[in-house]
Amino acid sequence: MTPVLETGVPALDTALVWGGVITLLAGAGTAAWRVARTGVRLGRRVDQFMDDWYGEEARPGVPGRPGVMERMGGIEDRIGRVEHELYPNSGGSLRDAVDQANERLARLCPDEPGEEDCPPPTASAGQ
């Protein structure tokens, strides 16, 4: 059996017991409030993430936002168009134009030893 600590003054003992009870209840209430506040903050962040992931419909005064998967599809389309320009194909890509320009330049200025520098361009070449 544990000894009970008493001051010998009943009113003081009662005040100390109630003070301890109030302190314990306040501590438990504070801990519960902090857990609830953290849960609400986490819930808000999850809600924001889900809005970003799935997108939002347009509403009065606020434009709609596409979701992540829709944005990824747009990025893949753009990358496909860029890749189309980087490799030779039917003659319409940027790579085909560069290759054609290099061929024309090679015909004008062959890179053989002993050759003189390229002839100066004529007036009609720039037009």
Please give the biggest Cα pair distance in the chain.
119
What's the pLDDT tens digit per position in 48-101? Answer: 999 889 998 888 998 888 999 999 999 999 999 898 888 888 888 888 889 889
19, 27 contact by CB (below 8 A): no
As a whole number, mean pLDDT of residues 38-53 equals 94
Mean residue pLDDT across the chain: 86
> Which tops the pLDDT comparison, 113 or 9?
9
Q: Report the C-alpha gap between 35 and 39 in whole angstroms.
A: 6
Task: Supply the angle between the helices 10-54 and 68-86 in degrees, to the nearest 10.
Answer: 40
Tell me whether residue 18 is exposed, middle or buried, using C-beta atoms within 10 angstroms of its C-beta: 0 to 12, 13 to 18, 19 or more.
exposed
81, 66 contact by CB (below 8 A): no
33-45 CB burial, b ≥16 within 10 A, e <16: eeeeeeeeeeeee
Helix (H) or strand (E) holding 21: helix 10-54
